[in-house]
Amino acid sequence: MNDVRPLTRGKVLVLIGCAIMVLGGCNRQPITWETNIALPLVDQVWTWSEVIQGASDDSTLAVDVGSPGTIVFSGPVAEWGIESLTQLPDTIVSQELTPDFDGGPFAVPPGAVLLDTEEDIVFQGIDQAFTGIVLESGRIEYFVESSTNGYVELFYAFPSVTIFGQPVELQVVLTPSDGVAFETREGTIDLSGAVIDLTGVSGNEINRIASQLIIGTPSNINDTAQVYGSDSIRVQMHFQELLVREVSGYFGQETIGFDVEQQVFDPVDFPSGFVEINPTRATLQFRNTIAADLRLQLDAMSVDGLQVTHPSLGLPQLISRAAWEDGALEPAIWEMDLLETAPSIFELLSYLPQWVQVVGEGLLNPLGDVSGGHDYFDTRVPPALYLDLEWPLVGTIEDFQIARSLELSPTDLPGFNGDLLVRLTNGFPVEWTFNAVWRFPGTGIDPVFIEGLVPAFPGGEMLELRIPVDEQRLATAGVIDVVASMRSEGPVEFTGRERMRLELGVEGMYQVEVP
């Protein structure tokens, strides 16, 4: 064996030196550098559809290209809600079973039936005679209690209420009461999508749900209940928030008010201006989608409070029932020509009003139960006012303003110093004025104002601006309010192909920091 040679001091120093050298450089700072970026940020094109967007939230607006182009609108502008057909009142059903003797106890063996009854649950407070409904949503909240000293089984069946073809049933087994407090059980049955036959146990009734209640002792639990004369078993079923999807029966003679206020031009989006509107076709239709006759009377029509008259206003119109066959709807339609209003409703609309209001009333089944209880209503397709409009794009435009707001989240670009590039390209044969304010609410930062004139197409239709931007503005939440206004020298013909394009880009230097 060789001699043991302890480490020399020199060797140890060498090793320690090596270790320190290897681990040197662990002390780290953030890395920073400056970089020049140039990026496109926004490319927004406004067509005629976007220009008049806000007049309708529906996508039924189209622009037909031509000479001149035509704006075509065909779609619903207001729907008629009928609450009495769409919501059933809440209903509570209670049953209590008490022995018809005093004293006790009497032994009740397993499998004994104490109560077996079939009866109708009647929905109170309904003026109509419903024979069937399909629920959009709703629920039964049940509560069961027993003071019996023994197991109690409760079976509550609703054979006329089915969900996905299965009848709704409730089966509860209560454990023995301690003789002091009631043994209780509660819960909820979801009725969404439930199909309910409202003709009751006999099949000839209205507004009734057939039910069967059986109370007894469970046969599969070997326990003999001790029943006293003072015992009781109570059941409570609470039908709640029943919203109807489909309903059938006889809807009665109900007069329903009709007060439609439709926003046309939101002043936030369209602050001011004049657009000459001369439609070649403008029809307002009322589409009856209920399989029940209707007598409709429109009493008044107004534009921002200004009354307009029409030969049909104030006259009752009998609208026949809609045809529903195998789920297919054939609505009954009544219409009025809006070009016959006085003053012209479109002359008023040219000044960008906010509201159009139509007031009237409708009477369901004005001739009584002519269908023999076969009225039908699908709440997903309510009666509605439809507008059918064709508007050639020819006319004078005076300071027609479109306003939009955009909220910008803070962007952390340390040391940024550069420009916001703004480029506007005009495809309209009219001059546009462009004003924007980049503001920083709640801060002391000065807003940035952007303005320019975009000449009419064709010609020098492009405007380019460079707005100085710094780190502070980018790091602050801001809002850009844009107002673009259009003006023509006299009547102008548009083709429908016109576009306005806004491009925003950024170019500048910022400091990158990598921690």
Partner 1 sequence: MNIRILLLIGWLMAPMWVAAQLDSIPWTLTVWGQQRSNSLDRDMGQKLFRGGHITPEMVASSSAAQGQDMGALGFTTGVDWRWTSLKAWKNSNARICGSIQGKWVGDSRWTPELLDLVFSGNAGHLGRWDVLDGSRVRTAAWMNAAIGLEGQNQNRIEIGLVYLPAYTGVHIRNGYFHVDEDIDSLQAYMRADAEVSQRAAWGSAINAEWHFLREEAPFAFHLRIQNLGWAVVPKMTQWKVDTLIETTGLTFQGPEWSLEAVQQEGWGAGFASVDSNKTVVRMLPARLDASFEYPLGPRSGWDVQVQLGEWMPLPRAITGYRRAIGKQWQAGIQMIAGGWGRLRPAAWARWRVPGEHAIVIYLEDPFGWGTHSAFGRGITLQFQNM
CB of 442 to partner 1, least distance (A): 19
Is residue 282 within 8 A of residue 346, CB to CB? The reply is yes
308 versus 436: smaller Cβ distance to partner 1: 436
Helix, strand, coil percentages in the chain from 3-state DSSP, rounded to 5: 5, 55, 40
Compare residues 261 and 513 and give the one whose CB is closer to partner 1: 513
Residue 65 to residue 498: CA distance in whole angstroms? 10
DSSP-derived 3-state class of residue 347: helix
Smallest separation, CB 149 to partner 1 (Å): 56
Task: Name the residues that contact partner 1, by CB under 8 A.
Answer: 1-7, 11-12, 14-23, 25-44, 404, 406, 408-409, 421, 423, 503-505, 507-509
The conformational region for residue 432 under phi > 0 = left, psi -120 to 50 = alpha, else beta, is beta
Q: Alpha carbon of 13 to those of 9, 17, 285, 489: distances in Å? A: 6, 6, 99, 93
Minimum distance between the CB of residue 55 and partner 1, rounded to whole angstroms?
Answer: 17
d(CA 61, CA 20): 76
Q: For partner 1, give the closer residue by CB, 72 or 504.
A: 504
For residue 10, the SS3 value is helix
Q: Report the nearest approach of partner 1 to the CB of residue 342 (Å).
A: 40
Among candidate residues 121, 122, 128, the one with its CA nearest the CA of residue 84 = 128
- Do the beta carbons of residue 288 and residue 383 sit within 8 Å? yes
Three-state secondary structure readout of 130-160? EEEEEEEEEEEEEEEEECCECCEEEEEEEEE
Confirm if 234 and 148 have CB atoms less than 8 A apart.
Answer: no
Cα-Cα-Cα-Cα torsion 434, 439, 445, 451, nearest 10 degrees, comes to 0
What is the distance between the alpha carbons of residues 290 and 320, in angstroms, rounded to a whole number?
Answer: 9
Q: Which is nearer to partner 1, 133 or 484 (CB)?
A: 484
Task: Give how far Cα 409 sits from Cα of 118, 404, 406, 480, 499, Å.
Answer: 65, 17, 10, 11, 28
Instruction: Select from 331, 336, 325, 243 the least CA-distant residue to 292.
Output: 331
Closest CB to partner 1 among residues 213, 469: 469
Query: Smallest gap, in angstroms, from Cβ of residue 12 to partner 1?
Result: 8
Nearer to partner 1, 311 or 410 (CB): 410
> Distance from first CA to last CA of the chain, Å, rounded?
56
**For partner 1, the closer CB: 39 or 315:** 39
Q: How far is the CB of 25 from partner 1 (least distance, A)?
A: 6
Q: How far is the CB of 435 from partner 1 (least distance, A)?
A: 16
Minimal distance, residue 3 CB to partner 1, in Å: 6
Minimum CB distance to partner 1 smaller for 66 or for 468: 468
Which CB atom, from 45 or from 318, has the smaller least distance to partner 1? 45
Residue number with CB closer to partner 1 (300 or 462): 462
**What's the closest the beta carbon of residue 54 comes to partner 1, in angstroms?**
13
Pull the structure tokens for residue 448: 């940035």
Q: Least distance to partner 1 from the beta carbon of 487, Å?
A: 24
- Token pair listed for 193: 């999508």
* 298 phi/psi in degrees, rounded to 5: -90, 120
Residue with Cβ nearer partner 1 (26 or 342)? 26
- Of the CA atoms within 13 Å of residue 451, those in its CB half-sphere come to 6
Residue with tokens 């502008």: 77
Instruction: Report the DSSP beta bridge partners of residue 434.
Output: 452, 484
Q: Which helix (H) or strand (E) holds 487?
A: strand 478-487
ω into residue 441 within 30 of 0, thus cis?
no
Min. distance of Cβ 161 from partner 1 in angstroms? 40
- Closest to partner 1 by CB, 223 or 470: 470
Closest separation between CB of residue 473 and partner 1, Å?
16
Show the tokens assigned to 396. 């004078």
Question: Cβ 60 to partner 1, closest distance in Å?
Answer: 20
Cβ proximity to partner 1: between 347 and 507 the closer is 507
Contact 207, 251 (CB under 8 A): no
